């Protein structure tokens, strides 16, 4: 079998899909994208395609190494996301060719299902409290929300109090036994992060996410010493080498590699195993489309330390389209009682509705994240 063609589709709301074709008619799908940089990743995919066309798609490990090590400059969001989507598609091809789900080829599943959490509403915490009860009523046992608005490097107690009030309202609304993940979104700098983390500890959170930007992770030591809440990060780390120092430092309790950013299935399996050796939990990041979610579930299936999966069904970004719009087997993600079942179909398990993908790609998108500014006019982290 040989790879014959790579085709990309930019589709709403903010996704990029990849189809890899072979001379035996077996097609694999991947989701290589950086939110807000879809066109740039698309270009990187087609640069990597120069090497792949004509190659045996089964040689995934070798292709991964060539695509990574074959360039003098390597790593980072664009390169690793392009590589990730290609890797997903190659595993999809291999699984389909052998009539097996990817997790079967990786040693077999160690769980039948995994807990999922649902995002609660928008960028502003004041928008989210009223939605929490509805989500729990739909069966979710865990939720996540943005924990604060923009914060300057040193900001007021008023903003801290507002964030604490919002989380308190949500905890009161859903009771003590629903997991709450609070995402600082990298909006908080070290001086305020330790204050906010300490103030939120009273709500017995499932985790706090990106309490500081990953590039400022030396601050995690002090934050960890201010609270006992589990600390999660990793969506803006792109390889096992990025995660190496995070794990070695010992201040992160949950890692969140993104299967569409961190080198795909091949790389994230290695990252998950590294984390297991440090007794660190796995909760893959995935506010993306159906192919990315299917890839995540393959890793969840085989990773002992996986405990919860992010998913974007109904997320506030999905205005024009949602994840089930692009698949023919709409029961592939079977949600029940706060869990989603591990897909059992060949490859990634999702049957992409190619005709609909082509139709929506005619509209495409140029999604960009908001630009926020502080009261003094300086740019704020979003």
- Measured distance between the N- and C-terminal CA atoms of the chain, rounded to whole angstroms: 45
Answer for the pair 203, 228: CB distance below 8 angstroms, yes or no: no
Beta strands in the chain (DSSP E): 3-11, 15-22, 27-30, 113-119, 142-146, 179-183, 207-209, 231-233, 254-255, 281-282, 309-310, 335-336, 339-341, 372-373, 379-380
Token duo for residue 205: 């959170």
Say how far apart CA 37 and CA 78 lie, in whole Å: 8
Cβ atoms < 10 Å from Cβ of 348: 33
Token duo for residue 172: 């009161």
Say how far apart CA 135 and CA 129 lie, in whole Å: 11
Q: What is the dihedral of CA 80, 300, 92, 100, to 10 degrees?
A: 160
Answer for the pair 64, 87: CB distance below 8 angstroms, yes or no: yes
**DSSP conformational letter for 73:** S
As to burial, measured by CB atoms within 10 angstroms (0-12 exposed, 13-18 middle, 19+ buried), residue 117 is: buried
Catalytic residues: 185, 285
Considering only CA atoms, give the Rg of the chain: 20
- Across-strand partners of 66? none
Cβ atoms < 10 Å from Cβ of 138: 11
Place of tokens 């077996």: 26
């Amino acid at each position: 079998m040989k790879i014959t063609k790579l085709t990309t589709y930019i589709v709403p709301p903010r996704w990029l899909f990849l189809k890899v074709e072979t001379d035996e008619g077996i097609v694999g799908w991947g989701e290589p994208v950086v939110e807000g940089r879809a066109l740039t990743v698309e270009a990187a995919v087609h640069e990597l395609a120069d090497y792949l066309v004509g190659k045996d798609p089964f040689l995934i490990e070798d292709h991964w190494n060539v695509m990574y090590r074959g360039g003098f400059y390597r790593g980072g969001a664009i390169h690793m996301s392009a590589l990730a989507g290609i890797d997903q598609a190659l595993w999809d091809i291999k699984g389909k060719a052998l009539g097996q789900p990817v997790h079967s080829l990786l040693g077999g599943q160690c769980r039948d299902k995994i807990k999922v959490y649902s995002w609660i509403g928008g960028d502003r915490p004041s928008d989210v409290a009223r939605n929490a009860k509805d989500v729990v009523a739909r069966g979710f046992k865990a939720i996540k929300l943005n924990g604060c608005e923009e914060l300057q490097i040193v900001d007021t107690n008023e903003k801290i109090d507002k964030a604490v009030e919002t989380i308190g309202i949500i905890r009161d609304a859903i009771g003590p036994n629903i997991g709450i993940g609070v995402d600082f979104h990298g909006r908080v700098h070290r001086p305020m992060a330790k204050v906010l983390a300490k103030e939120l500890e009273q709500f017995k959170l499932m985790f706090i996410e990106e309490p500081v930007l990953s590039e400022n992770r030396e601050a995690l030591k002090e934050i960890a010493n201010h609270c006992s809440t589990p600390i999660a990060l990793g969506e803006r780390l792109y390889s096992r080498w990025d995660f190496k120092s995070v794990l070695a430092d010992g201040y992160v309790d949950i890692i969140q590699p993104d299967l569409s950013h961190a080198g795909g299935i091949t790389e994230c399996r290695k990252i998950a195993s590294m984390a297991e050796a440090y007794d660190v939990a796995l909760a893959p990041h995935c506010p993306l489309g159906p192919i990315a979610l299917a890839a995540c579930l393959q890793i969840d299936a085989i990773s002992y330390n996986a405990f919860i999966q992010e998913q974007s069904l109904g997320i506030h970004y999905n205005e024009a389209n949602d994840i089930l719009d692009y698949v023919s087997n709409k029961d592939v993600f079977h949600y029940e009682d706060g869990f989603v079942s591990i897909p059992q179909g060949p490859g990634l398990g999702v049957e992409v509705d190619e005709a609909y993908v082509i139709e929506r790609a005619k509209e495409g998108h140029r999604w960009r994240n908001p630009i926020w500014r502080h009261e003094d006019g300086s740019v704020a982290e979003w």
